[in-house]
Amino acid sequence: MNLDACRVKQCFGTRSFRVGMTGQALDQGIPDNGRRPATLAPLYGLPDLTSLRRYLPSMTLLCAFEASARLGRFTAAAGELNLTQSAVSRQIRSLEEFLGVQLFIRERQAVRLSPEGERYAGEVQEALRRLSNASLSFRANPNGGELNLAILPTFGTRWLAPRLPRFIEAYPGITINLVTRLAPFDFHPAGIDAAIHYGAADWPDAELDFLLHEKVVPACSPAMRQQFGFRTASDLLAVPLLHLLSRPDAWAQWFDYHRVDWVSTGGMVIDQFAVATQAAISGVGVALLPQFLFQSELDRGDLVVAVDSDFESRGAYYLACAAHRLKHRPLQAFRDWMQAEMRCAAG
């Protein structure tokens, strides 16, 4: 089963860590004065729209405007909405008064959108379309939905993607949308539900599920190892080292673990493991690679371990879950599935 057939859209454990949450919404109950909080939205992880509601016209007014804008006549809109022409006209007037803008230009027996009305019509039609699609999707599959997941490129392609058919088989109603992100970001404006994160258990306004640690090995081409005859960690001081942009201290930590004094003299800096791996295969230098992600290259002999090492990275992999999306059913399902996959991978 390929990923296209599994309806995966790609754009390109049991331990949890609560990070960056104030706790006020979860701890706040009924105030001492006996009055209920002004809004319970934060209690359920939903955005508080109280301040925006004053700018939101009623659905009745919006539907009358959308139909009139689309059909070009109040009479036609009235027929579609099963209302009188005068009722539609009053609703349009009410909306114009609400907005403080003339939406239609009245010309005897005809009406046409004003420039402001044309702009507003596009926004309203898109908003109503999204609401309609969301409702239709939920009615058709109340237990499904979409999960927007940010992935690290190599982890996503090497570890996650081959396992996604199992998730979709277990949760056929859920569609996963994948985007690549290399560093932590703000979940709210990004519209992302969760992210695969490597590093420390630190991501503001997120709950982190531990996934796994990694063992990294210094890998090079067979020809380079034969040419230099590596035997100890200090032997790598004589060859070019490949540095990953997102892990600037990786080599320093590796040499420190092996008690080798090392002062960086520069070297090629690469932003993704895939490029670093190909450079190492081509004999450009030695790359520090997570063994679990590049075992296939080692098994095929494209790469060899330059020096035996049991070094475990100081960082770890986590599933960072947006705090305001913790009740999202697709995210809950994915969290459970990821923990099951990790237990399976660990044997």
Domain boundaries, the chain: 9-22+147-213+316-345, 54-139, 216-305
Q: What is the rounded average pLDDT for all residues in the chain?
A: 84
Q: Which residues of 109-130 are buried (b: 16+ CB within 10 A; e: fewer)?
A: eebebeeebeebbeebeeeeee
Instruction: Give, in order, the Cα–Cα distances in Å from 294 to each of 17, 253, 263, 269, 287.
Output: 28, 20, 27, 19, 11
Q: Domain 216-305 is classified in which CATH homologous superfamily?
A: Periplasmic binding protein-like II (3.40.190.10)
Judge contact between 199 and 182, C-beta under 8 A.
no
Indicate whether this model's pTM tops 0.85: no
**What gap in Å lies between CA 164 and CA 139, rounded to an integer?**
25
33-58 pLDDT, tens digit per residue, is 444 444 444 444 455 667 777 888 99
The confidence band for 143, taking pLDDT boundaries of 50, 70 and 90, is: low
pLDDT of residue 141: 64
- pLDDT over threshold 70, residue 7: no
DSSP 236-271: GGGS-EEEETT-TTHHHHHHHHTT---------EES
Please give the residue that has the higher pLDDT: either 185 or 18: 185
Interhelix angle for 59-71 vs 85-99, to 10°?
110
Identify whether the C-beta of residue 308 lies closer than 8 Å to the C-beta of residue 178. Answer: no
Contact between 245 and 269 under an 8 Å Cβ cutoff? The reply is: yes
In whole angstroms, give the CA distance from residue 14 to residue 29.
Answer: 29
> Which residue carries 């009245």 as its tokens?
106
Residue 18, number of CB atoms within 10 A of its CB: 12
Q: Work out whether the CA dihedral 79, 80, 83, 85 comes out positive or negative.
A: negative
- In this structure, what token pair is assigned to residue 42? 């934060």
The domain defined by 54-139 folds into Arc Repressor Mutant, subunit A (1.10.10)
Q: Of the ranges 15-24, 64-73, 251-260, 312-321, which one carries the lowest mean pLDDT score?
A: 15-24
pLDDT score for 28: 33
Q: Encoding tokens for residue 305?
A: 């371990």
Architecture of 9-22+147-213+316-345 per CATH? 3-Layer(aba) Sandwich (3.40)
Handedness of CA 170, 174, 177, 180 (dihedral sign): negative
**pLDDT for res 281:** 96
Report the DSSP beta bridge partners of residue 318.
197, 210
**Which residues contact residue 288 at a Cβ distance below 8 angstroms, ignoring those fewer than 6 apart?**
216, 217, 218, 219, 242, 244, 247, 250, 251, 254
Query: What sign has the CA pseudo-torsion 78, 81, 86, 90?
Result: negative
pLDDT at position 202 is 93
pLDDT at 104: 94
Residues in the chain: 347
* pLDDT, tens only, 299-322: 999 999 999 988 999 999 999 999
Residue 24 clears pLDDT 70, i.e. is over it: no
Chain-centre distance of CA 60, in angstroms?
35
Q: Render pLDDT for 58-116 as a digit per residue (tens, 0 to 9).
A: 999 999 999 999 999 999 999 999 999 999 999 999 999 999 999 999 887 788 999 99
In this chain, the answer to whether the domains covering 54-139 and 216-305 adopt an identical fold is no
332 pLDDT higher than 50? yes
CA gap 135, 97 in Å, rounded: 29
Residues 318 and 231 sit within 8 Å (Cβ to Cβ): no
Q: Considering Cα of 75, then 80, then 83, then 87, what sign does the dihedral take?
A: negative
- pLDDT above 70 as % of the chain: 84
Place 29 in a pLDDT band, splitting at 50, 70 and 90. Answer: very low
The pLDDT score that the predictor gives to residue 20 is 35
Q: Which amino acid is at 277?
A: T
Contacts (Cβ under 8 Å, ≥6 apart) of 219: 277, 280, 286, 287, 288, 289, 294, 297, 298, 303, 304, 305, 306
Q: What span, in angstroms and rounded, lies between the C-alpha atoms of 145 and 142?
A: 8
Model confidence at 125, pLDDT cuts 50, 70, 90, reads very high
